[in-house]
Chain A
């Protein structure tokens, strides 16, 4: 399957700082990337849909000014958690869609565990 790389794998930061997470599709071009967060023992929660060259579409309840998404190229999307607080601590996972129509599939990065002190 397609490979999606996500960095960093984990990050610890102080409250009030900003954290940037990178997501790259290594062997395919991803017009659309998705950002999820996951709390322990809970399912994936879609935060936003990122399309190359356009503004991200955020799900209801997700603060777009807090979670900045940039999809500058067909292989790179970034999520910046601005002014992070302890309640932002979570497992953040990016994904990229590969293929089209009925053959479109979602591949995930390895995830980023964010801990805000």
Chain B
């Protein structure tokens, strides 16, 4: 069973702080890694994806990947109340149909 693990939270941070979201995965054959944001009642929205070890930055968001530790994280700098949502970690497998497996998500609350 391929697993993607996330702390369900909620993770509460004050406005302007750095929010750190973490994800571990079980399958070493995983190819690409994604972070999605999902607001309540809405569908997921792609924020970042990464496939090489190290950091990848896009605006206030930084994705970090450590394949040796099977660990991927998302940092949100200068957190805003509008960042309050559930963040889903997803892993792409390199099998016949390149399936994407999702973690259960971490709920982030950014307090004004």
Taking a contact as CB atoms under 8 Å apart, the answer to whether B104 and A106 are in contact is no
**Which residue of A has the minimal Cβ distance to B31?**
A102
Taking a contact as CB atoms under 8 Å apart, the answer to whether B46 and A44 are in contact is no
| Chain A interface, number of residues (Cβ within 8 angstroms) | 25
Taking a contact as CB atoms under 8 Å apart, the answer to whether A93 and B98 are in contact is no
Say which one of B15-23, B37-45, B75-83 lies at the interface with A: B37-45
- Tell me the bound Cα distance from A109 to B36 in angstroms: 13
Question: Do A105 and B102 form a contact, CB below 8 Å, given A32-B97, A44-B88, A93-B43?
Answer: no
Residues on A with beta carbons closer than 8 Å to the beta carbon of B44: 44, 93, 108
Label chain A's interface by main secondary structure.
Answer: strand
Within the complex, the shortest CB–CB distance from A35 to chain B, in Å, comes to 12
> Which residues of chain A (1-53) have a CB below 8 Å from chain B?
1, 6, 32, 34, 42-44, 46, 49, 51
- Tell me the bound Cα distance from A50 to B18 in angstroms: 39
- Tell me the bound Cα distance from A105 to B92 in angstroms: 9
**Which residue of B has the minimal Cβ distance to A50?**
B97
- Tell me the bound Cα distance from A102 to B42 in angstroms: 27
Binding site for B on A (CB under 8 A): 1, 6, 32, 34, 42-44, 46, 49, 51, 57, 91, 93, 95, 97, 102, 104-111, 113
Of all A-B residue pairs in the complex, the 8 with the closest CB atoms, nearest first, are A43-B104, A108-B43, A111-B43, A102-B51, A44-B102, A49-B97, A93-B43, A106-B100
